Amino acid sequence: MFDDFLVRAALAGLGVALAAAPLGCFIVWRRMAYFGDATAHAAVLGVALSLTLETPIFAGALVVCLLMATLVSNLTGRGYAMDTLLGVMAHSSLAIGLVAVSFLQGVRIDLMAYLFGDILAVGKTDLAVIWGGAAMVLFLVGYRWSGLLLATLNPDLAHASGISPKREQLILTIALAIVVAVAIKVVGVLLIAAMLIIPAATARPFCRTPEMMAVLAAIIGCSASLIGLKASYEFDTPTGPTIVSMVALMFAFSSIVWNISHRARARARTDS
Amino acid sequence: MLIQTNNLFVHLGQRLVLEDINMEVEKGEIVSIIGPNGSGKSTLLRALIGAVEPTSGQVQRAPGLAIGYVPQRLHIDETLPMSVRRFMSLPHRPTAAELDAAMAVAGVSGLDKQQVMSLSGGQFQRVLLARAILEKPDLLLLDEATQGLDHRGSAGFYHQIETVRQELGCAVIMVSHELHVVMRRTDRVICINRHVCCQGLPDVVSTSPEYQSLFALDYQEEAVYLHRDHHGYSHNGGKH
């Protein structure tokens, strides 16, 4: 069944959506949206490096993402704010990556494929990389779930319980780098942040616990991948962007529902 | 000894916040840390739990020491859905019976299904206390835990802490600005203003010249406050 390109595409989309969901929740809770975005931009430099050195794209992207994340974490607070540093690093590595790619001779690469992904071209090896990466991320986040949550809630409470917020931050950073590296093929570096943040944000109004939010975000991400894939096949639109548009639609729907129910509740309160 | 500091110095950025702090807490005692605003009280507590690194000196904890920490104020982001029950089971999931017992001791029975964001200041403070109890602490640390509570609320809160200590037999370190409570309910007082000004029994500390110079004005205000407090209670039929 892996011989059908549509089946491979669907599986790739599901793998990325599953890994991105719980991680996206942490990004939303910790207000790290820009961090995710910046990590993804840096991946372009990683792509350029792996093409030059003829290493797998996944490895190059992973290494550059990790480097950037550590650099930003270590430089923060030394005269620059986090978002300034992220802006500097993200766009310089994107620019340098694009320049570096243009120097490559003899290699014909479709840059658009890395910026926006090419889910229909996913091969069996890509599929193995995506699902391997997704499994690793789910394991990391699942294994450290309580610690990550407590460190997100309040670093001091984590310290008092013997959990190091720094270590939890590192785990999140590594997981983020893995997701970005595996998702390049599926939605591309420019749209990864969308797959991380939008499903989590869409799930928020309907949840009472963090676990519920992670599961619902996964369901939303997965259904958007499948619907987006089908839609792009029907209407002959670019697949990555179609998937992201689907999640965006779901987000719009969710926030309308949230607003209406909020108002209804407020009215009930004033009436009583 | 449960916890002790040896020549503890802490800088936050360039600023010297704690200077040569030596203190220790024994099993089961209630110790209050008092001092003016910005005197380093909260930083001392955060150094005790390991949240700030000392510039020099050490914090020594008894092996396997379980700490329950109730922070001054806790802001939970609205993006994070969190029921009281779920919050209390972080990081260790207690049994339902343990959870109910802890909530009863802290005086917040029946709130477990609520969202943490919807609690009032007093309720949230008690939920934090309940969560700290669930860690089965040998040492309970309270950082201005009654801030934002009205007078009756804070009196009730201190009463609850007394109950908790009796049930768990744990030591308590509390940072407080409510001198009348401190003087009445603690075994020992440590008065700091970057360095330790004086420490000892409440009676001894309150008559020491260092204490009087630090709190001269406050103390007079407290005396007036105390008077009103007794008055108020007699109306309500309570007693001290």
ipTM, two decimals: 0.81
Residue for token pair 């009348």: B180
Instruction: Give me the pLDDT at residue A272, please.
Output: 55
Q: Collect contacts of A237-240 with beta carbons under 8 A, ≥24 apart.
A: A238/A116, A239/A9, A239/A117, A239/A118, A239/A119, A239/A120, A240/A116, A240/A117, A240/A118, A240/A119, A240/A186, A240/A187, A240/A188, A240/A191
Residue A227, min C-alpha distance to chain B (Å): 27
Q: Does B1 touch chain A (CB under 8 A)?
A: no
Instruction: Give me the pLDDT at residue A44, please.
Output: 86
CA atoms within 13 A on the CB side of A250: 29
Alpha helix positions (H), B135-208: 151-168, 179-185, 202-207
Is the model more confident about A13 or about A51?
A: A13
Residue B91 is given by DSSP the state: S
CA-to-CA separations, A25 to A128, B100, B110, in angstroms, rounded: 25, 29, 28
Q: Does A157 touch chain B (CB under 8 A)?
A: yes
**Number of domains observed in the structure of chain A:** 1
Q: Encode pLDDT of A20-65 as tens digits.
A: 999 999 999 998 888 888 888 888 888 888 888 888 888 899 999 8
Q: Give chain B positions within 8 Å (CB) of A149.
A: 90-91
Residues near A136 by beta carbon (within 8 Å), at least 6 away in sequence? A178
By residue range, what is the domain housing residue A139? 5-271
Q: What is the CATH number of the domain that holds A223?
A: 1.10.3470.10
Interface touch B80/A152, C-beta < 8 Å: yes
Is A160 a residue whose pLDDT tops 80?
yes
Q: Encode pLDDT of B46-56 as tens digits.
A: 999 999 989 99
A115 burial (CB, 10 Å; 0-12 / 13-18 / 19+) is middle
Q: Give chain A positions within 8 Å (CB) of B67.
A: 160-161
- Domains along chain B? 3-66+137-236 (3.40.50.300), 74-136 (no CATH)
